[in-house]
A and B are shown apart, each in its own frame.
Chain A
């Protein structure tokens, strides 16, 4: 251990936990694992999970994180918390006592957020998180060691599934009453009946392929956002392939609430570590280190968003102007987009010097600043680019069984797709669909189609 013992940690933890409970934080049981630097990078690259299925992308992630640390491009991690019950957090052994104290306080707030924010409540099952990932890992390892399948085939399916894993149903907009009714129908709530058409479809197909294709039923009835689910239901896949898709899909969905609440969650945790440590009556030397570390965590970053900074500022402001009940209400109900839309004020925009930029070649150009006329634009741009707003919306619009062509549509909102990435992603989709895939999108103000055929040939046409 560095400059602390387990006993010391337990001592500080007890006091922190006490203050956290008094303050109204309501969390799952907490477990801390103290790990070394290498293990931390390991956990970071495997999305925190103690077990996870193998794929080279996690090896890449490991090398990447390690390189970043090696060249000091990112600091040493303080912690990693996973949304599970009991909540598991990893603390890094090499950090100082003060960093551990600050981190422990920070972790309790994340834990509280996981337990109480409605996206997590509805979208994830913390009790089963660790087990689920372990189960997935076992299933995929079984396919790899199955002589009739093997690593190469599994890898190919995983590569392809990873490419579209975030092309999934977005979290229901909780503020929108019209959609609220559909909530129960959403895939989030129907874990058990995730693939209702699976059996029916495969039976039909086996019995009478031609009859099924002659039926003039439009599939899907409505544009379908969940690409992996659609392919699992209607694609020509073997059972093990379907299973891998469902695994990748389920894991991606587990992370959607985290993607959707990054700013709030970090802001919330930063607000509470700050509040709790201020009450801890730390010895003076630790107190100074605390202020210094805290300021490092919540500092602004030019040309990108530091979620700790923006989240902390908004929550602090809400607390100061509207009180404690308000912030608890906000942490329960909002996600980043609604949080920013409602609570990022002009004063805050101005105080944080937020600006909007666009890229021109290798340069960034400031297109809007947070003054009287500009701040709303800045705020709206931020709203539209946080959470799943950073992922293009692509829907399955039609499947024509005769040619087995899959039609996709990009819901254009002014932001164009990166073409080279779209091409390669379509090739992955062809691997999954085993047929032609056509994506319609907008390029240079014109509607365009990108087609990828079974030979992986790409064509672009109007």
Chain B
């Protein structure tokens, strides 16, 4: 005769420690893979709660397995013919196509929000606070509590008040215990006196307005023929991070995209990253456009302004002088102005224009950085933001 045991309320969580360690490894892996993740994201938009999938390289469990070409056996409905093709996902339901066909080759994916990615990122980077000297007059909504109500949403549950209500009800129920019937089940020796809907109280909320700090990022990019997809991809990673960082610090962050060749125009995000142009480059055109937009819409007394320019440094030499002048003007109106030179694939000694900037621009809120590969994006941002925090120090940038 078999034995039956009800073990359903033991309540031990045996895997807690192994899950914690696994999560720790996932986090480490995310940090390592961040370059790949962010490069795919659009910069603005409702990214905050958007779930993204991340292939976790470090968490695969490697063993000797067969590669893709191995044959397998399946079962069908009888209509299969030699040479027919079908989609691998059918049986998998999710994940990368064909992944399930390879035992062991699980592309382990985790879903996290962009918010969480940013958290991992800045946890690691230990970033300084940026000054919030220049307050904007723009106002931000906030909420004020105004008493209690019976109905509401879970986040506004007034816990303390609800407990008080429960205790009141309990006292009342005790008093009536001798009476013939109570509404509540009294099982033998039952200690529990659960909450019921009537006990719950929620905060009444009034919307309020509050002053906050606002910022604008001006993304300026050279889109001339030499700026290929790889370079734009690196630029995008950089802008994405910069935007995300600023969003942590400011209530509102505007983004402006300026594309330039020999002339500049304001564009939308898609155009910014996808439209290729050909022809030469006047860097100054991008800077002048930025100055124009700042003058029109983003008064420096109201806005924290961050301008950043990505280019491969291939400027037409007759423009160098003007570019330096305009860059200086940008430094005057911006909290921070950065120049990122993107030359993928090999060691970059720096172009003429970069040298010009470094020699001629003495403002403390100017920084020039190199981005050669996607692993550079994070350190580049860190360097840039360090600059922003140590204005008093005369920073030495390479």
Contacts and interface: CB of A to CB of B under 8 A. Distances in A.
Contacts of A57: 18, 22, 61
B25 interface: yes
A394 B8 CA distance: 43
Interface in A410-424: 410, 415-419, 421-422, 424
Interface residues on B, range: 35 or more
A265 interface: no
B74 A357 contact: yes
Interface centre among B20, B75, B86 (most CB of A within 10 A): B75
Contacts of B20: 59
A459 interface: no
Given A30-B2, A32-B2, A378-B73, A59 B101 contact: no
Given A36-B9, A415-B70, A304 B100 contact: yes
Contact of B25 (A32, A56, A355): A56
Contact of A369 (B7, B82, B88, B90): B82
Nearest to B103: A390
A366 interface: yes
A217 interface: no
B73 to A, nearest CB: 4
Contact of B4 (A6, A354, A368): A6
B61 A162 contact: yes
Interface string B122-163: 000000000000000000000000000000000000000000
Contacts of A417: 64-67
Interface stretch (A10-18, A201-209, A233-241): A10-18
Contacts, number: 252
A443 to B, nearest CB: 9
B17 A54 contact: yes
B15 interface: yes
Given A364-B87, A418-B67, A418-B105, A59 B15 contact: yes
A1 to B, nearest CB: 8
A361 B4 CA distance: 50
Interface stretch (A163-171, A185-193, A287-295, A327-335): A163-171
A34 B73 contact: no
A366 B83 contact: yes
A355 B74 contact: yes
A-B complex: 6 closest residue pairs judged by Cβ atoms: A362-B97, A59-B18, A300-B75, A59-B22, A424-B62, A59-B19
Given A361-B97, A365-B85, 18 more contacts: A6-B6, A13-B4, A31-B3, A55-B18, A56-B21, A58-B15, A60-B59, A162-B63, A163-B62, A303-B101, A304-B100, A304-B101, A353-B77, A355-B73, A357-B74, A362-B87, A362-B96, A418-B67
Interface of B: 1-10, 13-15, 17-25, 59-78, 80-91, 93-94, 96-98, 100-105, 108
Interface of A: 1, 6, 9-10, 13-14, 17, 29-36, 38-39, 42, 45-46, 54-60, 62-64, 71, 73, 93, 104, 155, 162-167, 300-306, 309-310, 352-369, 374, 378, 381-382, 385, 390-392, 394, 410, 415-419, 421-422, 424-425, 428
29 contacts: A1-B6, A33-B5, A34-B5, A34-B6, A36-B9, A38-B13, A42-B13, A42-B14, A42-B15, A64-B108, A166-B63, A300-B75, A301-B91, A303-B86, A305-B75, A352-B75, A355-B73, A355-B75, A359-B88, A361-B97, A361-B98, A363-B97, A364-B74, A366-B81, A366-B86, A369-B81, A381-B71, A385-B70, A416-B67
